[in-house]
Structure formats: C-alpha cells, structure tokens
Structure 1
Amino acid sequence: MRQAVFIGGNPEDEPDLGALMKHIADGDERAFGQLYESVAGPVFGIVRAVVRDVAQSEEVTQEVLVEVWRHVADYRPERGSVMNWVLTVAHRRAVDRVRSVVASTAREERVAARERLPEFDVTQAEVEARQEREDVVRCLRTLTQLQRESITLAYYQGLTYREVAERLSASLGTVKTRMRDGLIRLRDCLGVTT
C-alpha cells in the first residue's frame, strides 16, 4: 500500500497534488481520496459561482471529480498546476450545465407556447359563426312565407325539391322558383357577391 504524498512529509501539510496525480494515474484510490479532499471545496466554490443552484452545484462538482479520475492522464504539468487544471475542468462543466439548463428551458417554453396557442382564435370563430347565424335568421325573415318554408325544408331538414313540393302540396316547378327567388334575396340581404 502506498503512503500519501505530503509536502515536507508532514501529514498536517497540504499534499503535493502533482505527486498525487501520478499515483492516481496508476489507479491509487487513496491518492484520489486525498486529491478529492484538497480540491472538492474550491471546485464546489467555482461551480456554485457559475451554476448558483446548490443541488446542481453539488451534482456538477461530483461530475467534475469523476472526470478528473477518468481523465487524469490528460493533465499536463507543463501547462499549469493541478489545481488550475481541476478548476478549469470545473468551470467548463459549470458553464456547460448552465447552457444545458437554459437550452432546455427555452425548448420547454417553446413547446408550452405551441400547446397553449390554438391554431386559430376560437373566440373569434365562435363570434363570427354566431353573427353569421343571426344574419341568416334576419335575412330569412325578409322572405315570403313560401320562400322561407321551401328553403328551410331543403337546407335545414335536408329534403329534396320533390320532397319539399310534396310537403308543401305545390308543384315541383313552383318550389324550384320559390327557392331560386328566395336564395337570390338571401344573397342580396347577406351581401354575398358572386
């Protein structure tokens, strides 16, 4: 079993992070435990400053430390200290988390907006339909009784010209004339152009 590598050899002193990294690269879990104890606080601090949410900061801190364990071979001492490398990883992870949360929130808001908005204005459609019905009823009142009966039987009850003629005891030609004249008057009353 390896001994912890401490600066000056005194267990009360801070460990030599560079030496710990070499042991961690060899799979030494105790060395990683010491590194963890040394860097977890600063990592959490930098992550918390970026992410702000405590629970997510704790989660990202764990992700960073797992990444350090898995990618210890990526550390290059000539590029800077172990602490700087770990904190750079932490900052990058924290920024990635914030971007992910922002993108996710934006997606959710777009989906929610699409689900909330009807494809057309339901209220406006209902008002227009009601107005059209009222206009038709008003214009039907301007027709003669015979025209109104013929159109009502044909269009609202679905009867054929022959069935309307039988129901009204009128000839087929008379019913067709009444309906044609009544429809022309309705068209004019409603302002429909052909």
Structure 2
Amino acid sequence: MGKRASLSAHEGGGAEPDLAGLLLRVATGDEAAFAEVYDLMAGAVLGLAVRMMRDRAQAEEVAQEALVDVWRRAAHYSPERGSARAWVLTIAHRRAVDRIRSEYAAEHREDRAGRLEERRPFDAVSESALANLEHERVRGCLSALTELQRESIVLAYYNGYTYVEAARVLRTPAGTVKTRIRDGLIRLRDCLGVA
C-alpha cells in the first residue's frame, strides 16, 4: 500500500495504517516507512507542540526535532509497551518539555547575569582566565579517576547518555556504570573541594 493510499484509508475512516509496523520498518532504516510515519503523525505532533509551546515558530522546531528523534530512536519502540501513536507523542511531549525548561533556564540565567552585571563590572580577561583555571582543575581531577569512572562520567555528563546507553557503549552492565559514576562523582567532589 503506497503512502497516499495509506493516508486516504486513514482519513476516510477506513482501516487505520499499521503505525507500529511502520515504526518497525523505520528501525531498519526504511525511509519510505518514515515518510508515511511523518505524514501520519506530523499534524498531531505539531498540534501537541503548539498547545505546549504557545509559540508557533518554536512549536514547529520542536515538532521537527521530535520527528527526527522518531527516526533515530525507532529501534527503541516496542509494541508490547504501548501504542505507536502514544510512543511518538511521548517523544514530542518530552521534546516540548525540554524546550520549555531550556527557555525558562535561559531567562533565569539572563536575569541573574543582569543582576550580577549591575553589581560589578565585567572583566572579560579575568573571567576567561578563571574559566580556564576551573577547566584545568576539573581535567586534573578527571584524570585521577579510574578509566571506567572517567569514561562513564564523560558519556553521562558531557555527552548526555543515560546509564543504559553508556553501559552499551562501554559494554559494561548498567548497574556497574551507575556505581562507577556515583563513585567517580564523589571522588571529583572531594578533589575539587566542593562541599
């Protein structure tokens, strides 16, 4: 069944396209299946993003990012865990929440920076020097960790991996990675003298 036939069956109230089957095909890199998923879900994803963001331009960006995530993460979809539609909309919801949090944090950072700016003049050279010193301290403390601790922390905190994703990359059980991260963070805290 072609893309247009699939859409007309869906729009006309006929048999709903097998979104779960399409996602399983997307997981294998099937671009035609992704085009069908995109056509079927883009409106719902955008609608959800618009309701959450209340800014059409940002909602369109979030929707686009969410659908790209669907392409990238299709292999993570499991029909046993829920409907394909719910899975796609959950990805869109998470993307929108992330964007809202990011915007909120950016606004507060700007407010804090503005208040701080009012209290003291900005010295770009000393700020840069302090940042470089701090980076060197962190780099030195990281080098004191075991290799597995360091790799786990870098994957989790610098690359944004979850424990499970880091465990896959390191070919190590997730529980071990979680423990190494915890132990490594304690050692980093002690090395940096953070209370």
Q: TM-score range by the shorter chain?
A: 0.5 to 0.7
CA contact (8 A) 1:32 1:69 kept: yes
Residue identity opposite 1:94 in structure 2: A
Which residue, 81, 88, 107 being the options, matches 2:83?
Answer: 81
Q: Percent identity?
A: 48
TM-score, normalising length: structure 1: 0.55
Distance 2:37 2:110 in 1: 39
Displacement of 1:4 in angstroms is 3.8
Distance 2:3 2:7 in 1: 9
Q: Residue 96 of structure 1 corresponds to which residue in structure 2?
A: 98
> Which blocks of at least 5 consecutive residues in structure 1 are unaligned?
120-194
Change (3 A) 1:118 1:24: closer
Displacement of 1:5 in angstroms is 7.7
CA contact (8 A) 1:5 1:19 kept: no
> Which blocks of at least 5 consecutive residues in structure 2 are unaligned?
11-16, 122-195
Q: Residue 21 of structure 1 corresponds to which residue in structure 2?
A: 23
Q: Residue 12 of structure 1 corresponds to which residue in structure 2?
A: 8
Between Structure 1 and Structure 2, whose CA radius of gyration is higher?
Answer: 1
Where in structure 1 do 4 or more consecutive aligned residues deviate above 4 Å? Answer: none
Which residue, 48, 51, 55 being the options, matches 1:49?
Answer: 51
Displacement of 1:116 in angstroms is 2.2
Aligned length: 115
Change (3 A) 1:94 1:10: closer
How do 1:1-194 and structure 2 match up within 5 A?
4=2, 12-14=8-10, 15-117=17-119
Q: Residue 187 of structure 2 corresponds to which residue in structure 1?
A: none
Distance 1:27 1:87 in 2: 20
